[in-house]
Amino acid sequence: MDLNYFKKIRVLDAGMGQELLARGLVTKGTLWSATSLIDKKFNSLVIDTHLSAIEAGAEVILTNTFTTRRVRMEQNQVGDLFQFANKKACELAIKAKELSKKNILIAGSLPAQNDTYEVDKRDKKIIEKDFFDQANIINSYIDFFYLDVLSSGREVDIALKVIHKLNKPVLVGLHLKKNGMLPSGETITEVVKKYKNSSWLGVVAACVSLEIIEQVVDELNGLDIPFGFKANLWAVEEPLPVHRFNTAKHNEVGKNPNIALGKREEITGKVFCEFAKKISKKGATILGGCCETDSSHIKELSKLK
Please report, for residues 41, 71, 80, 85, 260, the alpha-carbon distance to residue 77 in angstroms, rounded to integers and kept in the order given: 20, 10, 8, 13, 23
Contact 177/185 with Cβ under 8 angstroms?
no
Q: Show me where the domains of the chain are located.
A: 5-304
Closest CA to 44 of 99, 125, 3: 99
Q: What whole-number distance in Å separates Cα of residue 5 and Cα of residue 169?
A: 11
Asked if pLDDT for residue 36 goes beyond 70, the answer is yes
Asked if pLDDT for residue 171 goes beyond 70, the answer is yes
Q: What whole-number distance in Å separates Cα of residue 202 and Cα of residue 147?
A: 11
pLDDT (0 to 100) of residue 241? 84
Q: What whole-number distance in Å separates Cα of residue 222 and Cα of residue 189?
A: 9
Give per-residue pLDDT as tens, 16-25: 999 999 999 9
pLDDT (0 to 100) of residue 255? 65
DSSP letter at 239?
A: P
Q: What whole-number distance in Å separates Cα of residue 181 and Cα of residue 119?
A: 12
Q: Which residues contact 108 (CB under 8 A, 6 or more apart)?
A: 62, 63, 65, 90, 135, 138, 139, 141, 142, 144, 145, 146, 168
Give per-residue pLDDT as tens, 74-111: 999 999 999 999 999 999 999 999 999 999 999 999 99
Give per-residue pLDDT as tens, 194-205: 999 999 999 999
pLDDT (0 to 100) of residue 248? 41
Section 170-192 average pLDDT: 98
Listed in sequence order, the DSSP H helices in 108-234 are: 124-138, 153-166, 188-195, 210-221
pLDDT (0 to 100) of residue 273? 98
Higher pLDDT, 251 or 274: 274
Section 173-190 average pLDDT: 98
pLDDT above 70: percentage of residues in the chain: 96
Section 166-175 average pLDDT: 98
Closest CA to 89 of 59, 115, 110: 110
Class of domain 5-304: alpha beta
Question: Average pLDDT, whole number, for the chain?
Answer: 95
pLDDT (0 to 100) of residue 253? 55
Contact 47/92 with Cβ under 8 angstroms?
yes
